[in-house]
Structure 1
Amino acid sequence: MSEVLSETVAAGVVQITMNRPERRNALDRKSYAGLIAALAAAETDAEIRAILLTGAGGCFTSGNDIKDFASAAAAGEAPRAAIDFLEAIATATKPIVAAVEGFAVGIGTTMLLHCDLAFAARSATFRLPFVTLGLCPEGGSSYLLPLAAGQKKAAELLMLGEAFAAETAAAAGLVNAVVEDGTALEAGLAKAKALAALPPESLALTKMLMKRGTAQAVAETIATEARHFGERLSSPEAVAAFAAFLKK
């Protein structure tokens, strides 16, 4: 079974689905490779004008696969696959629409900061548990979340690492709207179709201009966070947190 599915679901729209439902779509190195490849294929396909990102089995993603991360940390490896994916989604030129059901944890939340539109089911649950895992923010979130949500709300979400509801995600600028359970994909597809019907060069230019002012800062933040994140992976705090998590 492929960890990532990619299929054209409407004229000009490719749907990329995180597909490890037995693990609540937790992302391991193979998953990241699949996501990077799917994004690259969409970027180079002239027929594709919008990307729809979702998760299988009624769940967006429960975040990084802790078992995979723990093994990488034990081997002294940096989380390069995750960083490569974050860089790919941050620099994508075509519009990306996210449809969130179930859990959006860790990178499942931070990747939304790089999506152009996002829709969440009413019962969706978000969480940024980096500090509680002995880690630090990633994906440019330490820069982008304060811009979107304000400094105080970003501090609450990133420092405390508590779960929060779809309404809070909307208020923090992570999603455009909250929709009824089971309809996030439908809402996302409708907007992806609308984007795909627009003049593609004008759309790409608009996205570039909107990101132009922060692109360098985002790239620098992703790189800086990644360095610290890699160091934190082998820290006593993270090792203890991973061990406690895997005992559950």
Structure 2
Amino acid sequence: MTAVVLTDTVAPGVTRITMNRPERKNALNRASYLGLIEAFATAEADPQIRAILITGAGNCFTSGNDIRDFAASAGDGARIAMDFLTTISTATKPVVAAVEGFAVGIGTTMLLHCDLAFAGTGATFRMPFVALGLSPEGASSHLLPLVAGSKRAAELLMLGEAFGPETALDAGLLNAVVAEGAALDAALAKAKALAALPPQSVALTKLLLKRGQAASVAETIATEGRHFGERLRSEEAQAAFAAFLKK
């Protein structure tokens, strides 16, 4: 069986974590989340690893949660997703994202926890939580207004419409937009630059950058997680899932 999460060393000190369900546009199921959590834990524990690069296989970042898996999870899907969000939000080593294709739902919100993020011009972002009868996750209800402003955050989270990389850049989700297909190269260049710097200084700088929001982020992830789990069991969400699965 092909692993749904791949890891490899792509440069000295840089590990690449690849979401690997290209036939499903890298939709995340329980196995994906467990694989991501394990990959991050392994990278964090390895003193030779100084930077983490996260991307998706098949020129696609991730289409978000696997709706079929979520519809059948009875809340467990929400718990494991929140566990991953806690993992990425508390990573002590720098995390760099390379986005091509779809970055939907958690594919967008996880970028709020990456230290650097780059996207190709063909990338498409969306946070369709409301349309699916759900609610925001990943501390997006707290962090997105901080980086994008309250009006833009309300637009992106409440309407849940698709948006392009320039809007994502303007909303503070990205560092730069690059040519289509060039996101991985751009992200790898920055990951290699980070890995070449004094690691304790990098880790301390990351800690200081995040310390002002760390408690609020942890509390928000937990609060959002409770609401998200409740919404998963709601009639609205179940109807939205059923309609989605009929497509």
Q: TM-score, with normalisation over the residues of structure 2? A: 0.99
- Give the secondary-structure state (helix, strand or coil) at the position aligned to 2:210: helix
Give the ranges of 4+ consecutive aligned residues of structure 1 lying more than 3 Å apart after TM superposition: none
* Paired amino acid for 1:34: G
1:174-194 deviation line (CA, Å, top 9, x unaligned): 010000001000000000000
Q: How many residues align?
A: 246
Question: Does residue 50 of structure 1 match 2:31?
Answer: no
In structure 2, what residue type is equivalent to 1:216? Answer: A
Give the Cα–Cα distance (whole angstroms) in 2 for the partners of residues 160 and 78 of structure 1.
24
Deviation of 1:80 after TM superposition, in Å, equals: 1.4
- Name the CA shift for 1:123/1:79 in 2 (closer, same or farther; >3 Å): same
Whole-angstrom CA distance in 2 between matches of 1:194 and 1:170: 21
Q: What is the CA–CA distance in structure 2 between the aligned matches of 1:133 and 1:83, rounded to whole Å? A: 18
SS in 1 for 2:73: helix
By how many angstroms is 1:212 displaced? 0.4
> Is residue 26 of structure 1 aligned with residue 27 of structure 2?
yes
The alignment status of 1:202 with 2:201, answered yes or no, reads yes
2: CA distance between counterparts of 1:234 and 1:44? 36
SS of aligned partner of 2:18: strand
Deviation at 1:123, TM superposition (A): 1.1
User: Which residue of the partner structure matches residue 137 of structure 1?
Assistant: 136
Aligned partners of 2:132, 2:158: CA distance in 1, in Å? 11
Match of residue 182 from structure 1: 181
Identity, % of aligned positions = 74
1:23-74 deviation line (CA, Å, top 9, x unaligned): 000000000000000000000000000000000000000000000000013x
Q: Work out the CA distance in 1 between the residues paired with 2:59 and 2:77.
A: 30
Q: Which amino acid aligns with 1:36?
A: I
Alignment-mate amino acid for residue 52 of structure 1 = L
Matching residue of 1:167: 166
Q: Which secondary structure does the structure 2 equivalent of 1:195 belong to?
A: helix
* Residue 64 of structure 1: aligned partner: 65
CA distance in 2, matches of 1:14, 1:77: 29
Which deviations, in whole Å up to 9, do the C-alpha atoms of 1:125-166 show, x marking residues without a partner? 000000000000000000000001000000000000000000
Question: Mind listing any 5+ residue stretches in structure 2 that lack a counterpart?
Answer: none
1:239 aligns with 2:238: yes
Could you tell me how far 1:89 is from its partner in structure 2?
A: 0.1
RMSD: 0.7
